[in-house]
């Protein structure tokens, strides 16, 4: 069998591509026939509102469930949050890297949920940051959304994966 003759890196790439393709296909179906994305965005907005309440900012948010929802600080235009910005694909990417890469299953069972939570928290922080930029420096919103926060998010996922590869993938649990 060809897969048996492949090295570890090639096996990782093949597994990752198959998993990514499967997740992408399932996600596209869920998006089309459910309100999963919209509810996920609503949960993110609720966390952002809670953070801004603690910081004593008055906020606004769209209350209807649709493809793009708006959240922001009163006095700003806010930020539009849509499917591409909800962090689900970033979470999939992280999970696929960990699942596809060889390693101790017991370590995967704790590292995977922890990483997903951390990526989710990073996405909430990203939206809080964008809302602050929209309020204080609206001219810089597009640049920071497109470049700064994209770089930070993907670097964070890459860093989590590198931590997995270098520290936990082959670590034995007693």
One digit per residue, the tens of pLDDT, for the chain of length 174 reads: 455 567 888 888 899 999 999 988 888 888 777 777 888 899 999 999 999 999 999 999 986 766 778 999 999 999 999 888 889 989 999 999 999 998 889 999 999 999 999 999 999 999 999 999 999 999 999 999 999 999 999 999 999 999 999 998 886 655
Question: Has residue 45 been placed in a domain?
Answer: yes
DSSP bridge partners of 154: none
Question: Has residue 70 been placed in a domain?
Answer: yes
Question: Has residue 100 been placed in a domain?
Answer: yes
Question: Has residue 130 been placed in a domain?
Answer: yes
Question: Has residue 72 been placed in a domain?
Answer: yes
3-class DSSP state of 80: strand
Quote the number of domains for the chain. Answer: 1
The reported pLDDT for the residue numbered 55 is: 97
Nearest to 88 by CA among 120, 129, 50: 120
Question: Has residue 105 been placed in a domain?
Answer: yes
Question: Has residue 173 been placed in a domain?
Answer: no
Question: Has residue 10 been placed in a domain?
Answer: yes
In angstroms, the first-to-last Cα distance of the chain is 34
Asked whether the whole model's pTM tops 0.85, one would answer: yes
Give the ranges where the chain is alpha helix by DSSP (H). 2-5, 8-33, 36-54, 88-100, 105-136, 141-143, 149-163
Give burial (CB, 10 Å; 0-12/13-18/19+) of 91: buried
Integer Cα distance of 103 and 9 in angstroms:
13
Can you give the residue range of the structural domain that contains 81? 2-168
């Amino acid at each position: 069998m060809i897969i048996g003759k492949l090295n570890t890196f090639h096996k990782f790439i093949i597994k990752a591509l198959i998993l990514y393709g499967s997740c992408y296909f399932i996600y596209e179906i869920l998006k089309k026939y459910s309100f999963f994305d919209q509810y996920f965005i609503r949960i993110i907005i609720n966390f952002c509102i809670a953070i801004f309440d603690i910081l004593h900012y008055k906020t606004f948010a769209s209350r209807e469930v649709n493809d793009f929802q708006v959240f922001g600080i009163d006095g700003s235009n806010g930020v539009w949050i849509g499917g591409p910005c909800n962090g689900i694909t970033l979470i999939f990417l992280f999970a696929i890297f960990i699942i596809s890469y060889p390693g101790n299953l017991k370590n995967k069972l704790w590292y995977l949920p922890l990483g997903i939570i951390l990526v989710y928290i990073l996405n909430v922080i990203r939206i809080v940051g964008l809302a602050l930029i929209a309020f204080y420096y609206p001219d810089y919103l597009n640049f920071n959304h497109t470049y700064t926060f994209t770089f930070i998010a993907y670097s964070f996922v890459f860093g989590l994966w590198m931590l997995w590869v270098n520290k936990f993938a082959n670590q034995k649990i007693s």
